[in-house]
Structure 1
Amino acid sequence: MKKINIAIIGAGRMGQLHAKNFEYFVYGANIKAVCDQEKALAQKLAIEVEAEVYSDVSVLLLDESIDAVVITTPVQTHKTFVLQALEAGKHVFCEKPLCLNIEDANEMYQKATETKKVFQVGYMRRFDKGYETAKQKISEGAIGTPVFIRSTSRDPGLPPVPGWGCFPEKSGDISFELCSHDYDSIRWLLDDEVERVFGQAAVLSSIKEKGICGGTMMNDTIALTLKFSRGALGTVEGLLNIKYGYDARTEIIGDEGVISIGQMNYIDVVTGTSEHKISLPTAPSFTDRFAEAYIKEGQHFIDCIFNGQTPIVGVRDGLEAVKIAAAVNKSIQLAAPVNVTGEMLYGSNISN
């Protein structure tokens, strides 16, 4: 059977995760090349997956044997590499978020539409068994009409500090870096678009790290309310550097019932000791919590290439998540509700 030859662009943590998943767990995939400006990093990963090494994306894309690229570089580089890959006739898997502004997202959307290549964005929650089941039950009307959704994301880590975590503009702050997963999953679960947002954010659990950064860094705590176009309401909360483990949960309330996804404990084991204490293990990181989902999203990408299908999470979904994240950041900046189109509800009009 012919395999889809893949090039990994970016050999950091996510590049390593995807490279090993595609090479060892995804049927029909072959890691042909690894590219990173840090050649030693690329070489290390390439040895593990028996691939060729590149340090220049432009040179890599000249290889006609490469069918698809997986882009796992810092978000500021996504647009450049996506457009180059599409121009070279490659299928594209791009890690989230798609980019940091609506203009770039629109340009990427237009190019993907023109080239008609398979384009998938790395929102792996759609491939998690719990989220998949919830989506099916909502579609079947198990809880009637959804009226409220609550999404929670908590991560024990921080972006590099000192490093790019000290500069919110390089990551889009917590709204883009952490909560874009929430934005995508709530749109998908409710099959509806977010119309209005009102957000607040602060550095609350990383005061020491903020000092290391010289007094400015990515916010580690965010809380926002949302209104959907068909009238449902929702909330999203995101926290970084909260130590106890990775925690992602979602609750959807309908006029006839409720669905709850996820739980704090990672493995369904409870330990009781002679000290009269009960403990439950939490997920060390998002790669543990969604390990199976990452493999399934990779398989979906390959299947879409073989079958000429459109991924269930494509470039338009990436664009819509960027729109929400940008509106949230504008709302935080102005301390006012903002329509996702960019209109502030109280005061003068603004643009994203």
Structure 2
Amino acid sequence: MRIGFIGAGGIAGHHATSLSRHADARIAGVVDVDATVAHALAEQVGACVYPSVADLLRHVDAVYVLTPPRSRLEIIRQVAAAGKPILCEKPLAATVDDGEEIVRVVERAGVPLMMGFMRRWHRPAQQLKRIVETGELGRPLQIVRTRVGTVTPSAGNWRIEPGQRCGVTIESLSHDVDLVRWLGGDVVAASGMTLESRPDLPGFDDNVAATLRFVDGPIGSVQLSWTSAVGYNQTAVVGERGSAILEGRHMWASQTLRTRVEGGGEHVVEYPPEVANDMGYDGENSAFVDLARGRDVTHPTARDGLAALVVAEAVLDCAMESLPHAPASSADRPLRG
């Protein structure tokens, strides 16, 4: 399968490394607004550089959309019109309005779109999901996700460019919101607070604490920080008959899964480094190649990407209302759509 990359930045490198291990796919073409970056990636993977998206689409079977989120709507419009399957990096877009239009575009075109929520293929997370699905924890009551560490985008990174900036609540929290939705179902209400720690980057929130309510009643929370000197992540499910906690000493690694159910002792799984540090890209890319070949593959869709955006917007709206000049409110915000 001939894969085209639209966007050749940092995330493209992760996908390129993963796809290099896939016998049934190759990167055939690359396009990027920065020709130097495009040529560097193309040389690395043995691909051609094309001057435009339209040129690329004539030479590939499926497309990875790896550009900054504010540019994705028009790109996906072009790709969908050409009938090419799409892997779209997270977030789906920078705004709910753009996200809703992307959903309409791909559904009208009948083109499969997989969201780049690679944590669904993180093997420890999959084991946690299996535990939840067996029902051994009982009805979920609370789902908690924490991910903290130090991320400092350097000069030239789109995340801090004024025209592309959207903050971590939109850009990075989508991973965590999708993970808790995958475990607990649709989120029907959300509230929260955000914080901008860098005066030189107005509009760039880098800390967020959100509270959620899920469709069947459980509550939850998601905390994300890009300014923590200590790296850590945890995903916890508290049920009526037991609890399970997946955690690791890094923003992404998962070293330990602990479970305890009624009438039993604590069960601990310690993952070896190759499993603990597995980001999920290999599983995600294999699933996308299968999807692009027309196979029936369970995957996060454009609607899952939109759902994460809706939660992020609700959190940001709540945070805006809680500024010093406005009355504070702790009420959950019902979600759009």
TM-score category (smaller protein) = 0.7 to 0.9
Change (3 A) 1:100 1:134: same
Match of residue 191, structure 2, among 198, 213, 232? 198
The residue number in structure 2 matching 1:263 is: 248
Change (3 A) 1:224 1:169: farther
Alignment of 1:293-304 (within 5 A): 293-304=280-291
Contact kept? 1:251, 1:259, Cα under 8 Å: yes
Identity over aligned pairs, percent: 27
Q: TM-score, normalised by structure 1?
A: 0.82
Give the superposition deviation at 1:104: 1.6
- Provide the C-alpha distance between the structure 1 equivalents of 2:278 and 2:33, rounded to a whole number of angstroms: 27
SS of corresponding position for 2:87: strand
Give the superposition deviation at 1:159: 3.1
Cα deviation code 1:207-256 (max 9, x no counterpart)? xxx24x2x6251222112111121111111010032444x3321010011
- Provide the C-alpha distance between the structure 1 equivalents of 2:81 and 2:9, rounded to a whole number of angstroms: 25
Structure 1 window deviating more from structure 2 (254-263 vs 165-174): it is: 165-174
Match of residue 35, structure 1, among 27, 31, 38? 31
Q: Does 1:56 align with 2:52?
A: yes
- Provide the C-alpha distance between the structure 2 equivalents of 1:168 and 1:198, rounded to a whole number of angstroms: 26
- Provide the C-alpha distance between the structure 1 equivalents of 2:135 and 2:39, rounded to a whole number of angstroms: 51
Change (3 A) 1:14 1:42: same
- Provide the C-alpha distance between the structure 1 equivalents of 2:99 and 2:202, rounded to a whole number of angstroms: 27
Q: Does 1:224 align with 2:210?
A: yes
Cα deviation code 1:152-190 (max 9, x no counterpart)? 122311334576545688343221122111111111101
Give the superposition deviation at 1:142: 1.6
Cα deviation code 1:71-127 (max 9, x no counterpart)? 111111111111110101111000000002222212211221222222100001110
Alignment of 1:181-330 (within 5 A): 181-190=175-184, 192-204=185-197, 210-211=198-199, 213=200, 216-245=202-231, 247-264=232-249, 266=253, 291-330=278-317
Contact kept? 2:314, 2:333, Cα under 8 Å: yes
2:150 maps to amino acid: P
SS of corresponding position for 1:170: coil
2:176 maps to amino acid: D
2:189 maps to amino acid: R
The residue number in structure 1 matching 2:22 is: 26
Give the superposition deviation at 1:149: 0.7
Match of residue 173, structure 1, among 167, 173, 187? 167
SS of corresponding position for 1:317: helix
Aligned pair count reads 311
Give the superposition deviation at 1:291: 4.0
SS of corresponding position for 1:117: coil
- Provide the C-alpha distance between the structure 2 equivalents of 1:317 and 1:267, rounded to a whole number of angstroms: 24
1:84 maps to amino acid: Q
- Provide the C-alpha distance between the structure 2 equivalents of 1:105 and 1:312, rounded to a whole number of angstroms: 18
SS of corresponding position for 1:143: coil
Match of residue 154, structure 1, among 141, 148, 161? 148
Structure 1 window deviating more from structure 2 (170-179 vs 13-22): it is: 170-179
Contact kept? 2:159, 2:166, Cα under 8 Å: no
- Provide the C-alpha distance between the structure 2 equivalents of 1:165 and 1:289, rounded to a whole number of angstroms: 28
Change (3 A) 1:12 1:162: closer
- Provide the C-alpha distance between the structure 1 equivalents of 2:65 and 2:141, rounded to a whole number of angstroms: 36
- Provide the C-alpha distance between the structure 2 equivalents of 1:290 and 1:134, rounded to a whole number of angstroms: 16
Cα deviation code 1:311-331 (max 9, x no counterpart)? 421111111111111111111
Change (3 A) 1:299 1:196: same
- Provide the C-alpha distance between the structure 2 equivalents of 1:330 and 1:170, rounded to a whole number of angstroms: 19
- Give the superposed CA RMSD: 2.4
Contact kept? 2:123, 2:278, Cα under 8 Å: no
- Provide the C-alpha distance between the structure 2 equivalents of 1:171 and 1:234, rounded to a whole number of angstroms: 27
Contact kept? 2:68, 2:158, Cα under 8 Å: no
Q: List alignment gaps of at least 5 residues for structure 2.
A: 257-272, 323-328
- Provide the C-alpha distance between the structure 2 equivalents of 1:115 and 1:144, rounded to a whole number of angstroms: 41
Contact kept? 1:94, 1:122, Cα under 8 Å: yes
- Provide the C-alpha distance between the structure 1 equivalents of 2:2 and 2:242, rounded to a whole number of angstroms: 46
Match of residue 318, structure 2, among 331, 335, 349? 331
- Provide the C-alpha distance between the structure 1 equivalents of 2:38 and 2:254, rounded to a whole number of angstroms: 33
Change (3 A) 1:316 1:40: same
